[in-house]
Amino acid sequence: MAITTYTELKTAIANFLDRDDLTSVIPDFISLAEAQLNRDIRHWKMEKRASGQQSAGDEWMQIPNDWLETIRLNISDGGTRAVDLISRASMQDKRAGNLDTSGTPMYYAHSDSQFELYPTPNATTNLELLYYAKTDALSGSNASNWLLEDAPDVYLYGSLMHSAPYLAEDERVAVWSQMYFAAVGQLNKISEDARMSGSGLTLKIRGMG
């Protein structure tokens, strides 16, 4: 059967497990799979842009709720300039060594579920964030998403993998895991090939976590 919707995915999981008494827990298997999928997959269809203004004197930049991993952060005032990722220790050293100066941000660090900018903006600053976003979760009100449409096998094997511990079928974990990770690997490779095709480039821009 085709697997194009949330309902069809739940039916396929039940069929693969040959069980008709798991209606209430199959959504949990899917939710667990989605949590892992967001950790394991980095596909160009997960890329999003967010732009906004950072107020003068405010070094704390809010991160989008669906943020997974940063690809790049730029200042978009008067051209594009990169803001580079540094560690929190480096951020502390810069603030201490330069008396917490203000100016045009050049660096950012992850701190308290936000981006800490340095120097602290001395004027309103326009910023653009390119990042990997979480894939919209399936539900009764969200019947499909790009991942289910492009790679239903990834969703299916991921859900089956998480069903095995619940069903105390440890011997099936290895089977479902092998199929899941093979499908994820192929999906990531297809994305990377598509991103680089025709570019003639060998340099890859990796995510800044």
What is the phi/psi pair of residue 98, to 5°?
Answer: -120, 20
- If asked whether residues 155 and 183 sit together in one domain, one would say yes
pLDDT at 200 > cutoff 60: no
At 111, which helix (H) or strand (E)? strand 107-111
Rounded mean pLDDT of 138-157? 97
- If asked whether residues 152 and 126 sit together in one domain, one would say no
**pLDDT above 70: percentage of residues in the chain:** 94
Residue 79 Cα distances to 61, 74, 185, angstroms = 20, 10, 37
- If asked whether residues 120 and 56 sit together in one domain, one would say yes
- If asked whether residues 150 and 187 sit together in one domain, one would say yes
Shortest CA distance to 145 belongs to which of 25, 33, 51, 50? 33
pLDDT of 206: 45
pLDDT at 55 > cutoff 70: yes
CA 147 – CA 26 distance, rounded (Å): 18
Tell me which residue range forms the domain holding 33. 6-41+136-196
Residue 160 amino acid letter: L
- If asked whether residues 76 and 123 sit together in one domain, one would say yes
Please indicate, yes or no, if residue 202 is contained in any of the structural domains: no
Report how many domains make up the chain.
Answer: 2
201 by Cβ neighbours in 10 Å (0-12 / 13-18 / 19+) ranks as exposed
pTM flag (> 0.85): yes
Mark which of 132, 153, 180 sits at the end of a domain: 132
- If asked whether residues 52 and 97 sit together in one domain, one would say yes
